[in-house]
Every structure is written in C-alpha cells, then in structure tokens.
C-alpha cells in the first residue's frame, strides 16, 4: 500500500528518472554496439564535435582511475550511498530544486549501472575547439551537469530561501 501511494504521488518524477536513464542507456548501447561491429572508436562529426568511444574507469572526467578492485568497489559503494541519500532528498523538495536533484540522480544512476555492469563507464562525446579537447563524457554526465548548474543557479538567485526558513 505504501509503495502504491509512493508511485501514485511521484509518478512524474519516476517517469522523468526512467526517461533520463533510458536515453542514457540507449545512447551508450548504440555507441558500444557500433564500436563492436566496426572497430571504429572515433567519428568526426564537425569541427567542434567528435564521437570518441572510451571506457572510463574513474569518476568524473577519468579522475581516480584505479587499477585496484578494492578502491574501485569502495568508490562504487560510496556512489551508491550518495545516490540513496540523493533519491530521498530529491523527493523531499519541490519545483526546480526537485527536478535538478532528479537529473543528478538519474544521470548518476546511469553511470553507476555501467560501473556495476561493465566495471567502467562508456564515454563518447568529445567537444573540442581546434586542438583543445574538453573531457570526453556521456549523456548521463550532461544531465548531472545540468542538475548541478540549476542547483547553483538556485543558490545564487536565492530561490530556495523559503524552503530553509
């Protein structure tokens, strides 16, 4: 009964999580499948965008890439704990803050899924300008980044002061 009420009350939020997770999964599966069929890991799209498939064993932007299973599993456990806290925190908030946290949660969930299933995260979006390349990232990272940007915006505009009073 409690679970039924939860799904009824938070239907739009759960659908948003499912949509973000699905978009991320489909994009990653497509790139992985293309690489496995062709062996091509880099596709030139434009002078600003390439598809460059890599496996990221670290966290954001390849940081903390460990060759040690203990550190990798510990990091995955920490991410899982943060995700659980983030999930409950997202549903306790309203408005833009709620959906910002949901974007962060859904993106992180997509990357955690890959971390557990593949033991690394497939990254493939490569923005660049001339010889300067930004870190290679994926669709989940886009949603995480957008969620963080919205949260920062809320902090600077003071839109969350009513919640804290």
Active site residue 131: no
Question: Considering the entire predicted model, what is its pTM?
Answer: 0.85
- Does 107 fall in a domain? yes
d(CA 132, CA 124): 16
- Taking 90 as the threshold, does the pLDDT of residue 122 lie above it? yes
- Does 163 fall in a domain? no
Looking at the structure of the chain, the number of domains it has is: 1
What residue numbers bound the domain in which 140 lies? 2-158
Q: What percent of the chain stands above pLDDT 70?
A: 87
Among residues 24, 114, 126, 141, which one is catalytic?
Answer: 141
Residue, of 117 and 5, whose pLDDT is higher: 117
**pLDDT reported for residue 133:** 80
Q: How do residues 95-110 score in pLDDT, each as one tens digit?
A: 999 999 999 999 999 9
Among residues 114, 123, 126, 131, which one is catalytic?
Answer: 123
């Amino acid at each position: 009964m409690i679970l039924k009420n939860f799904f009824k009350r938070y239907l739009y939020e759960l659908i948003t999580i499912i949509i973000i997770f699905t978009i991320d999964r489909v994009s990653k599966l497509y790139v992985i499948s293309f690489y496995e069929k062709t062996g091509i890991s880099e596709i030139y799209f434009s002078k600003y965008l390439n598809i460059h498939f890599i496996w990221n064993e670290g966290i954001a932007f390849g940081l903390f890439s460990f060759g040690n299973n203990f550190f990798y599993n510990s990091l995955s456990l920490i991410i899982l704990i943060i995700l659980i806290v983030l999930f409950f925190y997202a549903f306790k908030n309203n408005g833009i803050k709620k959906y910002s946290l949901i974007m962060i949660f859904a993106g992180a969930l997509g990357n955690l899924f890959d971390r557990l299933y593949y033991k690394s995260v497939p990254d493939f979006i490569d923005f660049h300008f001339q010889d300067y390349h930004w870190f290679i990232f994926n669709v989940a990272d886009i949603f995480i980044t957008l969620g963080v940007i919205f949260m920062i915006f809320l902090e600077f505009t003071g839109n969350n002061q009513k919640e804290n009073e």
